[in-house]
């Protein structure tokens, strides 16, 4: 079946612009996660959605970052007033539910470059 998809695959933007990154999770997966990976760094947790529960936003680095998940499926990560340090690969993952041993399936990522 179809895996997690993300769009765009690459995004180049100018400092100060807003960007939106999209994630389509695997159908039927209720849990959705956003991470980012900077060059040479590990994956950094950003935000987690589980069903209709309030999202865990504890990993968002600043108030310029926000995310929503509409209808329990597609999610959008928005970065306002982008800065050069926002340049990274943004990865989305989904899992069947929030169980602690459920495998998280990752999308191919969006490579964001802020000039």
Partner 1 sequence: RKEVEQDPGPFNVPEGATVAFNCTYSNSASQSFFWYRQDCRKEPKLLMSVYSSGNEDGRFTAQLNRASQYISLLIRDSKLSDSATYLCVVNGFTGGGNKLTFGTGTQLKVEL
What's the closest the beta carbon of residue 53 comes to partner 1, in angstroms? 7
Judged by the rule CB under 8 A, the positions of this chain that interact with partner 1 are: 31, 33, 35, 40-45, 48, 50, 53-54, 56, 58-59, 91, 95, 98, 100-104, 106-109
What's the closest the beta carbon of residue 79 comes to partner 1, in angstroms? 20
Per the CB < 8 A criterion, the answer to whether 70 and 14 are in contact is no
**Structure tokens given for 105:** 């399936």
d(CA 28, CA 84): 36
Nearer of residues 2 and 14 to partner 1, judged by Cβ: 2
Per the CB < 8 A criterion, the answer to whether 97 and 104 are in contact is no
Nearer of residues 25 and 109 to partner 1, judged by Cβ: 109
Contacts of 75 (CB under 8 A, 6+ apart): 22, 23, 25, 32, 34, 49, 67, 68, 69, 92
What's the closest the beta carbon of residue 7 comes to partner 1, in angstroms? 14
Nearer of residues 18 and 113 to partner 1, judged by Cβ: 113
Per the CB < 8 A criterion, the answer to whether 62 and 44 are in contact is no
What's the closest the beta carbon of residue 18 comes to partner 1, in angstroms? 25
């Amino acid at each position: 079946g179809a895996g997690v998809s993300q769009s765009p695959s690459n995004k180049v933007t100018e400092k100060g612009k807003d960007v939106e990154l999209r994630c389509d999770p695997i159908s039927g997966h209720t849990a959705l996660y956003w991470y980012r990976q900077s060059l040479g760094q590990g994956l950094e947790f950003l935000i987690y959605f589980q069903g209709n529960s309030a999202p865990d936003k504890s990993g968002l680095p600043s108030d310029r970052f926000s995310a929503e998940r509409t209808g329990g499926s597609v999610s959008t990560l928005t970065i306002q007033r982008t800065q050069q340090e926002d340049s990274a690969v943004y990865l989305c993952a989904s899992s069947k539910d929030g169980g602690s041993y459920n495998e998280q399936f990752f999308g191919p990522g969006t490579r964001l470059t802020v000039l």
